[in-house]
Amino acid sequence: MSDQKATITDWVKPGDKSGEFKRQQSVFRNFISKDPNSEFPAEKDRYHLYVSYACPWAHRTLIVRKLKGLEDIIGFTSVHWHMAEKGWRFATSDEKLPGENSTPDPLHPDFTHLRDLYFSVNPDYEGRFTVPTLWDKKKNTIVSNESAEIIRMFYTEFDDLIDTKYKDVVLFPESLQSQIEETNEWTYNDVNNGVYKSGFATTQQAYENNVVTLFKSLDRAEADLAKSAGPYYFGDKITEADVRLYTTIIRFDPVYVQHFKCNIRDIRSGYPNLHKWVRNLYWNVPAFGETTEFEHIKGHYTKSHKQINPFGITPVGPVPDILKLEEEVNAVRK
């Protein structure tokens, strides 16, 4: 045990000799339900989602909210992209940030930081103040701060309140559930979290172990996409596998390649199938493209992680953040 006290920006625990970043478990794990007698029943305008456009976990929830047509049912606020000693903060009323709803907290005008929300529920809260946070306006409490579970609630529990066309959006179809779960296992550990484990490592060994595993799993995703019978991970319908992989791949070239040293290859010149897949989602599916805010993404990582980038200089490239559908980098152009 170390007697050094960890602060919010210590990504590897002080005294941990492995140099490995270990992500904490989320603390609030309640579920919204269709059942009107449940503790958190699905209702219009009862729940509010706090996100950061920068954060890949929160990004999942924004994508699913739109895919399922929940825009009028669940409101949201994005925090400012800059995270400092007190964690995420809300934008102030004089700040103009790109992206819908990057505003002060509309529900608690005196809250300056996301942590205020957590402390209002539990003044002794000792966990991390993470996005996404799903808030219940009736009970004034946090329903969940675990994106993997929030998206699953959105898949089904509001189905009685939405149009048939959105009810028919099935992101976790029974016939694919075991394959999706199996894919989640390695995309979560090696890819979604793998970029963080590479970038936050404080020893050469921890970095190399994680970055090599990350690229092996990207190779696997590339091979799977080559075999897919349609434009999406499992054929011609979007599923959870697309949502979960997208939020890392869209950040890969603009941020992870240089900031987290994930540079064995990049997506645009090294992974033709992933590149085609991610561009199709970004340019052709509004739930993906319209929830992607590169200014938040680039600003957040490069200016918040001072151990990695002490001067907070944001690299200009790559230009552009994402290529158009038919464009290719020189190395790939035929």
Catalytic annotation, residues: 55, 196
Which of 146, 190, 240, 253 binds ligand GSH (CB under 6 A)? It is: 146
Please measure the distance between the N-terminal and C-terminal CA atoms of the chain and give it in whole angstroms: 57
- Cβ proximity to ligand GSH: between 246 and 275 the closer is 246
51 is in an annotated binding site: no
169 is in an annotated binding site: no
Looking at residues 238 to 257 of the shown chain, list those that interact with ligand GSH (rule: CB under 6 A).
none
DSSP readout, 277-323?
Answer: HHHHHHHH-HHHHTT--HHHHHHHHHHH-TTT-TT-PPP--SSSSS-
Shortest CB 24 distance to ligand GSH, Å? 7
128 is in an annotated binding site: yes
d(CA 130, CA 52): 9
186 is in an annotated binding site: no
Which of 77, 102, 130, 247 binds ligand GSH (CB under 6 A)? It is: 130
**Is 56 in contact with 248 (CB distance < 8 Å)?**
yes
Two structure tokens written together for 24:
């904490």
Whose tokens are 């390649």? That residue is: 257
- CB-count burial class (<10 Å; 0-12, 13-18, 19+) for 178: exposed
Q: Does 194 bind ligand GSH (CB under 6 A)?
A: no
Q: Does 195 bind ligand GSH (CB under 6 A)?
A: no
Shortest CB 201 distance to ligand GSH, Å? 17
Whose tokens are 């809250």? That residue is: 111
Which of 30, 102, 147, 187 binds ligand GSH (CB under 6 A)? It is: 147
Q: Does 26 bind ligand GSH (CB under 6 A)?
A: yes
Give the burial string for 65-92 (b: 16+ CB within 10 Å, else e): bbbbbbeebbbbbbbbbbbeeebbbbbe
77 is in an annotated binding site: no
Shortest CB 119 distance to ligand GSH, Å? 14
Which of 40, 47, 57, 158 binds ligand GSH (CB under 6 A)? It is: 57
Which residues in this chain contact ligand GSH in the complex, by CB under 6 A?
8, 26, 55, 57, 87, 128-132, 145-148
